[in-house]
Amino acid sequence: MEVTPLSSPSPIHRLHLRHKEARFLAVPSTLLCTRRGTTTYVHPILRTSHNCQSPPCSLQAISKKHENVSWLSVSPKLHVQNKFPRDVVVRSELTAAGSAGDGYLLPELKLESKVRGVCFYVVTAFSAIFLFMLMLVGHPSVLLFDRYRRMFHHFVAKVWAALTVAPFYKIEFEGLENLPPPDTPAVYVSNHQSFLDIYTLLTLGRSFKFISKTGIFLFPIIGWAMFLLGVIPLKRMDSRSQLDCLKRCMDLIKKGASVFFFPEGTRSKDGKLGTFKKGAFSVAAKTNAPVVPISLIGTGQIMPAGKEGIVNLGSVKVVIHKPIVGKDPDMLCKEARKTIASVLTQS
């Protein structure tokens, strides 16, 4: 069986089955079946045309296979003329598929998203170059007067993130009153959906230290800026690196800085909240720092995980929940996950 597209304004496929030919077209509500004859059959699913004087035959649940393609017709008894080759035209409508022309919007939207993706990286690269120079000039003063929190660098990073995302999506904040004072060390945790999560969180303007893979520090400009910000490096699948990372987080909190964790450990590819790892909550329990849960909504739709080359249309909502305090890592983990999930399930 061979499948060939026909030239028509709606999705059409031709199925050649030996000497028989079938065409499928998208039209509203019914399946219409016709042939090169003069007889008409009326059926809740199929209407066919045929010659009334033709000898009838029964077709019921016929399945024919050729190469790797199967064709199955399941219907009540149909009487057709079997003396001549038949040309069958079937018109169908997929449920909730919209009009036939809607199917052609996808390539255009895909192209538009790719163009926005290119523009996104152009904007972030150009703004990063100039702002990185500003960070570089101010770095000696930061090391002398604010080595651990590095608030000046985080202010520059906030400007960079805001300039980057402003042309592409809007951010709505909810619960800003739940943020601890800027000079209060805390452990921030959030769900992780997209590469855009970092940009979105930087617009909060809080000087928390992210944890990032060591390889990203090698990226020109962006990686160097992360080094100046004091981002904590981590080698995945290296238990010693993970232990050193947690120790450094506890040390930073004791010295007045805040840290940020994505407890899932990686980005969600289906938007569902994954299992939380307990590292962040062990740090909070041992340092008596509050855990601040944050729910991110919409970043995964704009730039899905694994598709960093596109930027879709959309908006983002950031919900800051009330801080959680406790000395039991398991309790903190369960409570934080439950709090973050409560908003995600409503969206």
| pLDDT band with cut points at 50, 70 and 90 for residue 213 | confident
Kindly report the backbone phi and psi dihedral angles of residue 18, in degrees, each rounded to the nearest multiple of 5, phi listed first.
Answer: 55, -115
CB 25 within 8 A of CB 10: yes
Residue 75, pLDDT score: 41
Per-residue pLDDT tens digits for 291-330? 999 999 999 999 999 899 999 999 999 999 999 999 999 9
Among 188-197, 208-217, 224-233, 278-287, the range scoring the smallest mean pLDDT is: 208-217
Contacts of 177 (CB under 8 A, 6+ apart): none
Average pLDDT over residues 56-76: 40
Name the β-bridge partners of 259.
Answer: 187, 209
Q: Report the Cα 294 to chain-centroid distance in Å.
A: 18
pLDDT at position 108, please? 52
* Contact assessment for residue 314 and residue 301, using Cβ atoms and an 8 Å cutoff: yes
DSSP 8-class letter at 49: -
Question: What is the distance between the alpha carbons of residues 212 and 195, in angstroms, rounded to a whole number?
Answer: 12
Which helix (DSSP H) or strand (DSSP E) does residue 323 occupy?
none
pLDDT of res. 347? 62
Using CB atoms within 10 A of its CB, is residue 345 exposed (0-12), middle (13-18) or buried (19+)? Answer: exposed
Give the Cα separation of 53 and 58 in Å (integer): 16
Residue 42 pairs with which residues in a beta bridge?
47
Which distant-in-sequence residues (6+ apart) come within 8 Å of 344 by Cβ?
A: 191, 273, 295, 297
Output the pLDDT for position 55.
Answer: 45
Give pTM, 2 decimals: 0.68
Amino acid 33: pLDDT: 40
pLDDT of residue 81: 44
Long-range CB contact pairs, 266-275, < 8 A, 24+: 266/192, 267/192, 267/193, 267/194, 267/195, 267/197, 267/300, 267/305, 268/191, 268/192, 268/193, 268/300, 268/305, 269/304, 269/305, 269/306, 271/193, 271/300, 271/301, 273/191, 273/337, 273/340, 273/341, 273/344
Q: What is the rounded average pLDDT of the residues 199-215?
A: 90
Indicate whether 5 pLDDT > 50: no
In this predicted model, which residue has the larger pLDDT, 106 or 331?
Answer: 331
pLDDT at 222: 85
Q: Among 3.40.20.10, 3.40.980.10, 3.40.1390.40, 3.40.1130.10, what is the CATH number of 108-343?
A: 3.40.1130.10
Per-residue confidence (pLDDT) for residue 202, from 0 to 100? 95
Distance, CA of 167 to CA of 137 (rounded, Å): 28
pLDDT digits (tens, 9 = 90+) for 119-133: 999 999 999 999 999
Quickly state the pLDDT bin for 215 (edges 50, 70, 90).
confident
Whole-angstrom distance, CA of residue 32 vs CA of residue 90: 5
Confidence check: pLDDT of 265 > 80? yes
pLDDT surpasses 50 at 243: yes
Averaged over 173-187, what is the pLDDT?
A: 94
The pLDDT score that the predictor gives to residue 155 is 95
The pLDDT value given to residue 146: 92
